[in-house]
Amino acid sequence: MKKKREDFLPINAEDMKARGWDQLDILLITGDAYVDHPSFGVAIIGRLLEIHGYKVGIIAQPDWRDIKDFKAFGDKPPRLFVGITSGNLDSMVNNYTAARRRRKRDVYSPGGVGGKRPDRAVIVYANRVREVFGKVPIVIGGLEASLRRFAHYDYWQDRVRRSILLDSRADLIVYGMGERQVVEIAQSLESGIPIEYLTYLDGTVAKTKSLDGLKDFVELPSYEEVSTDKEKYALSFKLQYQEQDPFKGRPVVQKHGDWYIVQNRPAKPLATHELDRLYELPYTREYHPIYEKEGGIPALKEVKFSIVTHRGCYGSCAFCALVQHQGRIIQSRSKESILKEVRLLTKLPDFKGVIHDVGGPTANMYKTGCSRDGEGYCGKRNCLFPSPCPNLKKSHQEYIDLLRSIRQIPGVKHVFIRSGIRYDLLMADNESDFLKELCEHHVSGQLKIAPEHVSPKVLKAMRKPSFEVYAKFREEYKKVNKMLGKKQYLVPYFISSHPGCGLDEMIQLAEHIRDLKYNPEQVQDFTPTPMTLATCMYYTGIDPLTGEKIYVPKDMGEKRMQRALLQFRDPKNYDLVKKALKKAGRDDLIGSGKKALIPDRRPGAHRRKGQRRKKKC
């Protein structure tokens, strides 16, 4: 049974008046369709503000080409502030491929149809709000705002852009997950503190003309310096990267002309009971009824029967922005809260007995983390690179106990893990037999894993474990499945064109794929997204944490060759693969030998143009 409109937060003036309201306290605008599910950030923020007593309305995917949609609740601005997000993804990542081609699909839009959100959605929406409501306080957040808080390299324009705080003309950025901050902002504004004085809140970025009164801060090279000097850009990244600690972090300042952008230290991680409360809010777990005729929202299908167990990731992969957004510290929900949610899912009318995922950014990090919790980061090394830290709590036993309890709930037939596992963490755990438990109960025929590459040089740039660790895990996985009498396979994910990867390294990876007799259906070409370590390497040609020069494949021709090498068996890639092999001097891999990647001739090239293969009778 579908939920009714009154079960959701208001989406227009009619819904608002039906509740007896004449004005909103807070207006939230999102680039995603409105899905009232805890996997959608605006739903969490909206429900949280609601239980704190605020009148909240949501405008989802407004038409930015007109101001009409921005007046969905009338001409009167919200009493406290407007909160803006591009949605669950950066709008540029959502709208474009790594080859800078516009995507046709958008799983966060009705029917999966693209084109419902503008490029740089946060900036566009915020400037429209200024046009409609004038000086109303504007707070921007979500992934797009969070990762563009400093001067940053923009891949799509191939230049350094200013902090999004200035281009959007907003008053504050909430960076990270944001629940603590938005409530504190609402309460501060409610108490009469003007928005321009809220420059001190943890987990926020403010702008100011003066640094008077600010002590013990780190100043980055200015926007003007980092936009013209790549060494200064690398230094700037290193300085801010080292200050993302919620316990010991200091304010970080970057000058932009007459303005100073001030990042306060990250907000403290949520305690278990606080995280439990968030996921137990009264979500309908449905998309809004207005999308029914358009076929619903595809993104909901992937998460509706999945469980989020924790936040954060201490993997710190160079190409991933999680450490800059959710942080390294694992914040886990209680077992009781998770089981309560599973029981709720089993009562939904369309539940078929399958829990699709039980995890987080990395599933098997649940209840793991640093034994020095509460003291902040070590500051000396990453938790898993180049090998697991001695201070790391690596036991999977609590995760195993959780999964066993979920399997025992009436109505649950299968429990799968889709959010990925860190095999290096698994291999480092000598206290529990998680691999056997995983293979016996939680793999649906294939286990997706992310070794990413085979070259030691590239893996070092990625901050990933050595390939020997993956090879050992692969053998253990085979051994356990054989013991269980199961035929289950590994599906490894690989990345092309990552900083540090040239044609030689990509050919080395292609040879590995050949030896595995593996034919990747999905491959990933590295996309430089704001505020990642790898993006800094891509733009500057420098590893900012070591100061070493690093090779970067930027030429689109080479990037196409590298991607083609991942799928060298596909006839469509023949010319690109052959070109790559000849350019690298690897003619030995062309021909009919056992080690060859491709034959001398393109498949089918012996037939004359227009000639068809005869059909067998």
Distance CA 368, CA 378 (A): 16
- The answer to the question of residue 275 being in a domain is no
Distance CA 264, CA 251 (A): 5
Query: Do 136 and 176 touch, CB atoms closer than 8 A?
Result: no
Please indicate if the annotation marks 501 as binding a ligand: no
Q: How many domains does the chain have?
A: 2
- The answer to the question of residue 362 being in a domain is no
Q: What local confidence, expressed as pLDDT, does residue 324 receive?
A: 87
- CATH number at 45 reads 3.40.50.2300
**Residue 370, helix vs strand vs coil:** strand
Of 159, 190, 206, the residue that ends a domain is: 206
- The answer to the question of residue 9 being in a domain is yes
Residue 113 lies in domain: 5-206
- The answer to the question of residue 77 being in a domain is yes
Average pLDDT across each block of 10 residues of the chain; the chain has 617 residues. List them in order.
Answer: 87 96 98 98 98 98 96 97 97 95 96 96 98 97 97 97 98 96 98 96 97 94 98 97 91 98 96 97 97 96 96 93 89 98 96 96 94 65 87 94 98 94 94 94 93 96 96 96 95 96 97 92 91 97 96 95 96 96 97 94 63 46
Q: What local confidence, expressed as pLDDT, does residue 430 receive?
A: 87
Residues with Cβ within 8 Å of residue 598, at least 6 apart in sequence: 568, 574, 577, 578, 581, 589, 590
Q: The whole model's pTM is what?
A: 0.94
Looking at the chain, the whole-number percentage of residues with pLDDT higher than 90 is 88
- The answer to the question of residue 253 being in a domain is no
- The answer to the question of residue 291 being in a domain is no
Query: Do 580 and 562 touch, CB atoms closer than 8 A?
Result: yes
Distance CA 184, CA 199 (A): 12
Of 177, 206, 235, the residue that ends a domain is: 206
Side-chain-side CA neighbours of 479 within 13 Å: the count stands at 7
Query: Do 434 and 399 touch, CB atoms closer than 8 A?
Result: yes
Distance CA 324, CA 268 (A): 14
Query: Do 180 and 204 touch, CB atoms closer than 8 A?
Result: no
- The answer to the question of residue 586 being in a domain is yes
- CATH number at 543 reads 3.30.750.200
Of 206, 223, 238, the residue that ends a domain is: 206
- The answer to the question of residue 395 being in a domain is no
